[in-house]
Amino acid sequence: MDDRHILRVFIRCGWIAGLLTGQMMAANSLQAQGYPTKPIQIVVPFAPGGVTELSARMIGERLRQHLGQPGVVIIKDGAGTVIGTEFAARAAPDGHTLLIGNSSTVIGSMGKNVSYDLQRDLAPIALYYAQPGIVMVHPSVRINSIRELIAYAKAKPRDLRYASTGYGAIVHFTTEYFAMSAGISMTHVPYRGGGPAIMSVISGEVDMMFLGINTAASHVKSGRLRALGVTTKERVPVFPDVPAVAEQGLPGFDMKTWYALFAPANTPKPIVDRLQAITQSVVAEREFSERLAANGGKAVFASSDELRALVDRELKAWSKVIKAAKLDLE
């Protein structure tokens, strides 16, 4: 995976040249079209709760302020984001249905029985948030660093058992990518969702798990789990004493979960442009940034074109992981 390109997308937060002119043109065009004429559905293809739903509701509030119609969050989870993504992909391309997507959306679209094509059936709007992960183990596991984990797994292949939120989920793929990068093999134990997976590590049923940093914080502070490393090149403010994976024998390793807005393909460009401009203004808001930072990540902006390029790269990168790890996505 070309992490340098992904990093560039995450950190590019500058204003687009000519934004004000573009906003005025888009606003005039939208006014002529009468958009929006009703509340805007924001489809969340993940289980309720957490940063995804939080960010969707915050964006929904801003849509009311900017467009005069509220953004109403619709939870349609299941099948590794496929159910919600398919719903959004098949919706009318009129700007009244949006989708929150991330790397799980990319991976979910690669299943054999998926009826939509991510590149063909969805229009990228903008990326607005990125969150690092963290590698956690049960306190009874006698491993205190990523270096020790790698050494142990090389000495005892497949002895370490890791939990995921389901076969084909981003946690599964991220862990397999880590294992490929480190040249090790571990045993995958999938669960139905994040709650059961986390509890399996807390109870000691399995040894370890890659977690979103917001989910991990309370478990680390309580001592129920031990942090080995964050999945970015640098340390993060939430866990300043936890070294990055890249510091511990895997230079260049940099994995973040990103969150972005999509619309059905063929949504009129003036609508996409207006929603992109609104997203950029939301990312620049102090309240939005601070609330997401409290969840361990960072509010960042990437344009429609940059998001499309990111999706294209991830499709290629995760295809390599699927092939190398011999994964079967049904």
**Angle at Cα 185 formed by Cα 183 and Cα 187, nearest 5°?**
160
d(CA 329, CA 182): 23
CATH homologous superfamily for the domain 132-247: Periplasmic binding protein-like II (3.40.190.10)
Partners of 123 in the β-ladder: 263
One DSSP character per residue, 130-188 reads EEEEEEEE-TTS---SHHHHHHHHHHSTT-SEEEESSTTSHHHHHHHHHHHHHT---EE
DSSP conformational letter for 193: S
Structure tokens that stand for 232 in this block:
């970015």
Burial of 282 (0-12, 13-18, 19+ CB in 10 A): buried
User: What is the per-residue pLDDT for 78?
Assistant: 83
Same CATH topology for 3-131+257-324 and 132-247: the answer is yes
Closest CA to 106 of 179, 192, 195, 6: 6
Q: Which amino acid is at 120?
A: R
pLDDT of residue 33: 63
What single string gives the DSSP state of each residue in 215-246? HHHHHHHHTSSEEEEESSSS-BTTBTTSPBGG
Q: Give me the pLDDT at residue 218, please.
A: 86
3-class DSSP state of 322: helix
Residue 237: per-residue pLDDT: 82
Q: What is the CA radius of gyration of the chain?
A: 20
Name the CATH code of domain 3-131+257-324 (choices 3.30.360.10, 3.40.190.150, 3.40.50.1110, 3.40.50.11810). 3.40.190.150
**Helix 269-283 with 19-33: angle, nearest 10 deg:** 130
- For residue 208, report the phi and psi dihedrals to the nearest 5 degrees: -155, 170
The reported pLDDT for the residue numbered 292 is: 87
CA-wise closest residue to 52 among 177, 164, 194, 157: 194
Residues whose CB falls within 8 Å of the CB of residue 292, separated by 6 or more in sequence, listed in order: 51, 54, 55, 129, 298, 299
End-to-end CA distance of the chain: 23
Tens digits of pLDDT across the chain (330 residues): 554 444 344 434 334 334 444 444 544 455 436 899 999 999 999 888 778 899 999 999 999 999 999 999 999 988 888 999 999 999 999 999 999 999 889 998 988 889 999 999 999 999 999 988 999 999 999 999 999 999 999 999 999 999 998 887 888 989 999 999 999 999 999 988 788 899 999 999 999 999 888 788 889 889 999 999 999 888 888 889 999 999 999 998 988 889 999 999 999 999 999 999 999 999 999 999 998 888 778 899 999 999 999 999 999 988 888 888 777 766
Burial of 180 (0-12, 13-18, 19+ CB in 10 A): middle
Domain boundaries, the chain: 3-131+257-324, 132-247
Angle (nearest 5°) at CA 186 between 181 and 190: 110
